[in-house]
Structure 1
Amino acid sequence: MSTVNSTTCLSTVIDEPICFQSSYEPVYYFPRAQLVEGIQDAYITMAAPVIAYWVLSLFFHYLDTCSWKWLEAYRIHPSAEVQSKNLVSRSSVVIAVIFQHIIQTVLGLWWLSSEQHAITTDHSAPIRQIALTIRPLLRLVGVADVQRLRQVAEFAYWWAMPALQMFLAMFIIDSWQYFLHRAMHVNKFLYRQLHSWHHRLYVPYAFGALYNHPLEGFLLDTLGTAMAESLTAMTTRQSMILFTISTLKTVDDHCGYSFPWDPLQIASGNNADYHDIHHQVIGIKSNFSQPFFVHWDTLLGTRMTREDIRLRREGKKNKTQ
């Protein structure tokens, strides 16, 4: 946080002006022109998800190379299965992902250089507007203290509204990716020409998370996150958080491990085990949701669990017998 001493005054037609001081600003609103001295925020925003992708991917790759016996309990597939069932070499995957990162970064820098992403340095006006809006509501519950009004208005501006923006952006990304991803499975032309690239990884692994046809990578990932960021009117630094979390979640969903202590897997039922089902033959027409929640699969009847697979296989076995 940075300390500031800007005075905000509240006034209505009836009441006399009431003034208070705005006491702080979180780091993502810090008014300094650059978050890191000498580097434009747009550059950091586009570099952060790329760095996050490879750092987390290399961590899981390191686990893949380890012979620790305790890891076997958490591996979704045996290591040998990755080598035998996948239809693309690791070097081809790396080249394709780097190419997508280049496209993503170039388009992102162009997008974030627009005026709508300029840093806001005067926050008093929106805080004042929020305070004027909530003041009658607080009075209804017996809160007339100006200090408390300031605290509620600042909390709404600095924390509640950004949290709502983040949640809404995640919902937009999920909705965009669900329906486009599903279309790429339903439409045979789209599947053969585009999405079949990703399913060459029958057994997913972390740094193959963004192994896609370049056009699919642009439509599904780059365009989807840019649209979510724009529709929720995020600042550049909020975008940095959104892009980085989305990247970490995507990598984690392809990591090949089901860890009980992984925060990204605990936070949502849409995790590595859930997405792994989609990569298998039995679940390829299920579990289209990614990367955050599973509500669209649940609502539209495309959700499949390990229990569903067990029951389906038992049913086939009984029919055969």
Structure 2
Amino acid sequence: MTQVRVFETIWEVCQTQDSVLQPLWDYMRLNHSETLRSPLFPVILTVASYFVLCVPYLVCDMVGKKWPAIYQYKIQPNKLPTTAMLLHCGGVTLYNHLLLVFPAAAAQWLWRPPVPLPEQAPTLLELAGGVTANLLLFDLQYFIWHFLHHKIRWLYVTFHAIHHNYSAPFALATQCLGGWELVTVGFWTTLNPVLLRCHLLTTWMFMVVHVYVSVEDHCGYDFPWSTSRLIPFGVYGGPSKHDVHHQKPNTNFAPHFSHWDKLFGTHADFSFAETQ
């Protein structure tokens, strides 16, 4: 089978009305309906995903130079997070979730009826398109938010400065945020799939992917399998570009992609990152 035929076959599978995801969706819908319909489910999904996805990078940081095959990809090799830094970020994250995220989810549980589960699963094309559209919309929203919070001193000092305590980001610093920022990010993450009228499976996939790329952006490692290396033409920022933002705070405001920073002249390549 030629390469062209392979891509044609994949395209046909993605477009088919009988989604290959249907058996998975049927199993989830028929066996775990009450769990999936709960307003708490998306919160538990994203929080659990966050801590699970942080673990591999935390292991890399703890092993450090003893693991040269991995440590060679450290963007700032002489700036490993200390125990105190890890405890601080972990404490801020737990504080925000216990005092803001979970109470908000519980309040939502009281007034919002359980969501209905559609019988049909999304096609692979709908799933991929929905996740991409949500990431692009969030990228625009956060670029504007982030730019304003760096340019207006009161907003920066009051809400965003805590995230810039560290010039060399690491995975657990991803959600080391002020409460206002965490609520804003959560609001967009929840609202955008509704605005784009996404299937619930697409919504949950977007949430997990969004957590993954956010953790990856802050991980401090530029691995060969990093998203920015897998997506061609430099359209995606990735961990190196976000590392530059933490060293040069007036650059690279977009959380994931590169086009807004390039358009508004705030883009900086990772070559600006200098190890000390």
Same fold (TM over 0.5): yes
Q: Which residue of 1 aligns with 2:159?
A: 194
- Residue from 48, 51, 54 that aligns with 1:54: 51
1:120 counterpart = 2:118: yes
Which structure 2 residues correspond to residues 262-277 of structure 1 after superposition, within 5 A?
Answer: 262-263=226-227, 266-267=230-231, 269-277=236-244
Per-residue deviation, 1:229: 1.5
TM-score calculated relative to the size of structure 2: 0.78
- Normalised to the residue count of structure 1, the TM-score between the two structures is 0.68
Kindly tell me: are residues 79 and 52 of structure 1, through their superposed partners in 2, closer, same or farther at Cα, counting changes over 3 Å?
Answer: farther
**Does the residue aligned with 1:30 lie in a helix, a strand or coil?**
helix
- 2:32 matched to 1:65? no
Aligned residue runs from structure 1 range 243-262, under 5 A: 243-262=207-226
Aligned to 1:286: 251
Following the alignment from structure 1 to structure 2, what is the Cα–Cα distance between the partners of residues 211 and 192? 15
In the TM superposition, residue 32 of structure 1 has moved relative to its aligned partner by: 5.8
Q: Is the 8 A contact 1:286 1:304 kept in 2?
A: yes
Quick one: percent identity of the two aligned structures?
19
Equivalent pairs, count: 249
Q: Secondary structure at the match of 1:230?
A: helix
Q: Is the 8 A contact 2:217 2:238 kept in 1?
A: yes
More strand by share: 1
CA contact (8 A) 1:170 1:228 kept: no
List runs of 5+ in structure 2 lacking aligned partners: 1-16
1:146 corresponds to which residue?
A: none
Structure 1: 5+ residue stretches without partners: 1-21, 124-153, 314-321
Letter in 2 for 1:194: F
The higher radius of gyration belongs to 1
Structure 1 residue 252 displacement after superposition: 0.8
Classify 1:165/1:111 alpha carbon distance in 2 versus 1 (closer, same or farther; 3 Å).
farther
Which of 50-59 and 24-33 deviates more?
24-33
Name the CA distance, whole Å, in 2 between partners of 1:109 and 1:120: 24
User: Could you give the per-residue CA deviations for residues 279-299 of structure 1, whole angstroms, max 9, x where no partner exists?
Assistant: 00xx21010011x31111111
Q: CA RMSD in A?
A: 3.0
Quick check: 2:252–2:268 contact (8 Å CA) kept in 1? yes
For residue 145 of structure 1, what is the aligned residue in structure 2?
none
Distance change (3 Å), C-alpha of 1:306 and 1:114:
same
1:222 paired residue number: 186
Aligned-pair CA distance for 1:111: 5.7
Matches within 5 A, 1:62-211: 62-66=59-63, 67-80=66-79, 82-83=81-82, 89-102=85-98, 103-108=100-105, 114=112, 117-121=115-119, 158-211=123-176
